[in-house]
Structure 1
Amino acid sequence: MSELVFDSVSVRYGGRRGLTAVDGVSLTVPAGKVVGLVGESGSGKSTLARAAVGLSPVSAGRVLLGGVDVRKLPRRRPLQMVFQDPYSSLNPRMTIGESIAEAMPRGTDRRAEVARLLELVNLDPERATHLPGQLSGGQRQRVALARALAGRPEALIADEITSALDVSVQGAVLNLVRSVQRQFDLSMLFISHNLAVIRYLSDFVAVMYLGRIVEAGPAAQVLTDPQHPYTRDLLDAAPSAHKPLFDLDPGATADAEPPDPHHPPAGCRYHPRCPVGPLVRSDREICLRADPAEDAAPRKHAAACHFSESEGHEPAISQGASV
């Protein structure tokens, strides 16, 4: 196991006038722990993950694994990724066994190792001769996990790996991921928009908005005592046993469309949607001009909010929340 560190990572497309999809993100995945990364679509979560494995260009900063820049790691990196769509992440012309064996180091008894890995992810080893088209979505995602493990990783990134699956199989896949992570003591960045899933799997939680981390800390603390208004809005929007699925506040500013990521707002990036910001509190003009991310470190959960510690709020999600 190794610590995975994002050190002031930025990902920019299209030059100076292009899009900064990830903007100066610093985040640590401690060795052997799971960090859940949550945020709405377009917040930059998947781009950050792809940057770690070399699929998106790192414009600034570094991604370190065990203190080594991942760009200097060997071709068969000890950092692997499981992608969101199980239907496009496997080569349809390669058998399951060939896809898994492709990621193995040289000198491995490939047939025996493929069988072992398939059993590990609760698939019959005889599936090794099948093509991806003969498998269900849940089975394909298990194969994708086996292929990632074939590279003998020290760290694993899982990007929305259950969002494309039927609800009936999501729980089984999540249980498998948790079991594998503990068995191999993997460092894991687990990306999801589902807060129940994040709570189920994660030791730590990081909340991402418009390319930046706006709050991060131990999962139990962030999910029960959120400091950033965006985190609280995400938790308030999550369905629970105590409120209807569509019980939304029609006056909530968070219902507004997110700002254009090509032209992020000055000051606090969340202020155009913030329910406790300058749109509803005229005395909070500082949010319009000063970036709270610049002095976030001393605040609880390093919240990128000028008023994070002045807002009273009830615990948002119970310790017993489960998938």
Structure 2
Amino acid sequence: MSELRFDTVSVRYGRLTAVDGVSLTVPSGQVVGLVGESGSGKSTLARAAVGLSPVSGGRVLLDGADVRRLPRRKPLQMVFQDPYSSLDPRMAVGESITEAMPRGAHRGKAGRRAEVARLLELVNLDPERAATLPGQLSGGQRQRVALARALAGQPKVLIADEITSALDVSVQGAVLNLVRDVQRRLSLSMLFISHNLAVVRYVSDFVAVMYLGRIVEAGPAEQVLTDPRHPYTRDLLAAAPSPHRGLLADVKDDALADTEPADPHHPPPGCHYHPRCPIGPLVHTDSTVCLDTDPAAEAAERPHTAACHFAATPPIPTRRSA
């Protein structure tokens, strides 16, 4: 087991700050669910961890060591969102899995074949699938192969980036059960990324909520999802499928802000969420602090490290509560 830590990590592309000073810890052997709308910076943060996005500031640490200084094959692996593009269509399943194995980890072709068979069984696939091309598999089967390939790298930390979003609803549950089972059996630390709060709650020990490149709330999953302290978290919960609406009985179906997220090239001053916030200055004229004072500066002193000036005063009013 290993700890993955993002230490004030920033990722910039020209004038765009995709990830803005994120500090987040994935504790050893635990699952942290990272949730937020599309464009919030979740996948960019994940890609920075595995070296696919440039880290403009801060550090990504694995057991205290900067991942940029680790060997090329790091004990940190990632399963990508699209099972149709993450595997080479010209390589058989067994070849793709073998390619990911550390050099010298298994002796001879027989040892590698045995490891491929073990990994396929671990993800509930017939070892005979090793000779199959990805094009002959369903989306769910391909994602299982992608998981087996990541596990072939002998990771201590696994990053799963929206791994069920491209799958049929009928197979999403099976893949989630598999991921949770593998994580527990192998004692892996995991960063699990999703926009679906129901999925995040099912697999995660901790939850972090991301908006416009920043973590705006984080804490134990049950606490964050039953007693959210940031208005954005509440809006996400209100927009989630019906199982989550029961958590907050006073939240209406249309609680998610009608306005679009702010332009990430030109984030608003003060609290980045204030143009959409149900308790912000556009709704409550006395909330002027939100216009010019960044709440992230004192987030560590608030419940769930929430980047909201009013997080310490529950309950937060809903957008259209009676």
Q: Shorter-chain TM-score category?
A: over 0.9
> Where in structure 2 are the equivalents of 1:112-261 lying within 5 Å?
112-241=114-243, 248-249=253-254, 252=255, 254-261=257-264
Which of 71, 89, 94 is matched with 1:92 structurally? 89
Q: CA deviation at 1:254?
A: 1.4
Matched, 1:275 2:274: no
**Contact 1:253/1:274 (CA < 8 Å) preserved in 2?**
no
- In structure 2, the partner of 1:72 is 69
Which of 106, 111, 124 is matched with 2:113 structurally? 111
**Contact 1:157/1:188 (CA < 8 Å) preserved in 2?**
yes
**Contact 2:198/2:243 (CA < 8 Å) preserved in 1?**
no
Residue type of the alignment partner of 1:31: S
Q: In structure 2, how many angstroms separate the alpha carbons of the residues matched to 1:197 and 1:60?
A: 31
Matched, 1:61 2:58: yes
**Contact 1:253/1:275 (CA < 8 Å) preserved in 2?**
no
Per the normalisation by structure 1, the TM-score is: 0.93
Q: In structure 2, how many angstroms separate the alpha carbons of the residues matched to 1:10 and 1:277?
A: 27
Q: CA deviation at 1:308?
A: 1.1
- In structure 2, the partner of 1:41 is 38
From the superposition, tell whether residues 197 and 287 of structure 1 become closer, same or farther in structure 2 (CA, over 3 Å): same
1:63-87 deviations in Å (ceiling 9; x for gaps): 0011111001111110000000000
Q: In structure 2, how many angstroms separate the alpha carbons of the residues matched to 1:204 and 1:217?
A: 6
Q: 232-241 vs 34-43, which deviates more?
A: 232-241
Matched, 1:303 2:306: yes
- In structure 1, the partner of 2:11 is 11
Q: In structure 1, how many angstroms separate the alpha carbons of the residues matched to 2:181 and 2:241?
A: 26
Q: CA deviation at 1:312?
A: 1.4
Q: In structure 2, how many angstroms separate the alpha carbons of the residues matched to 1:131 and 1:243?
A: 42
Q: CA deviation at 1:241?
A: 4.9
Q: In structure 1, how many angstroms separate the alpha carbons of the residues matched to 2:220 and 2:51?
A: 28
1:92-136 deviations in Å (ceiling 9; x for gaps): 111100000001122312110000000100001111011100100
Q: In structure 2, how many angstroms separate the alpha carbons of the residues matched to 1:175 and 1:266?
A: 42
Per the normalisation by structure 2, the TM-score is: 0.93
Q: Which runs of 5+ in 1 are unaligned?
A: 316-323
From the superposition, tell whether residues 79 and 243 of structure 1 become closer, same or farther in structure 2 (CA, over 3 Å): closer
Q: In structure 1, how many angstroms separate the alpha carbons of the residues matched to 2:144 and 2:268?
A: 41
- In structure 1, the partner of 2:249 is none
- In structure 1, the partner of 2:78 is 81
Q: CA deviation at 1:311?
A: 3.9
Matched, 1:265 2:268: yes
From the superposition, tell whether residues 216 and 7 of structure 1 become closer, same or farther in structure 2 (CA, over 3 Å): same
Give the 3-state SS of the residue equivalent to 2:195 in structure 1: coil
Q: In structure 2, how many angstroms separate the alpha carbons of the residues matched to 1:183 and 1:314?
A: 42
Give aligned pairs, total: 308
Give the 3-state SS of the residue equivalent to 2:179 in structure 1: helix
Which of 40, 47, 50 is matched with 1:50 structurally? 47
Residue type of the alignment partner of 2:142: R
Q: In structure 2, how many angstroms separate the alpha carbons of the residues matched to 1:105 and 1:86?
A: 22
Q: In structure 2, how many angstroms separate the alpha carbons of the residues matched to 1:11 and 1:203?
A: 26
Q: In structure 2, how many angstroms separate the alpha carbons of the residues matched to 1:242 and 1:188?
A: 23
Residue type of the alignment partner of 1:155: V
RMSD: 1.6
- In structure 2, the partner of 1:292 is 295
Give the 3-state SS of the residue equivalent to 2:300 in structure 1: coil
Q: In structure 2, how many angstroms separate the alpha carbons of the residues matched to 1:261 and 1:118?
A: 41
